[in-house]
Amino acid sequence: MKRLWIFSLALLVVACAKSGPVYQDPDTKSFSVQPPQGWIAHRSKDFTYPDVVMHGVSFVAPSTVGSGTVLLEASIDVATGAMTACPQTGSQATLGGAQARKWDWSDAGAGNLYQGTTVAAVHAGTCYRVTLFNHNCNIGPDCSKGYTAPFDRTTLLPIFNQALSTFRFSN
Q: Using pLDDT thresholds of 50, 70 and 90, give the confidence band for residue 166.
A: very high
Residue 129, number of CB atoms within 10 A of its CB: 25
Give the tens place of pLDDT for each residue, 3-48.
433 333 333 344 444 567 899 988 788 999 999 999 999 887 888 8
Distance CA 60, CA 16 (A): 12
This prediction has a pTM of 0.84
Q: Quote the Cα angle for 10-11-15, to 5°.
A: 120
Give the chain's domains with CATH numbers: 2-169 (2.60.120.1690)
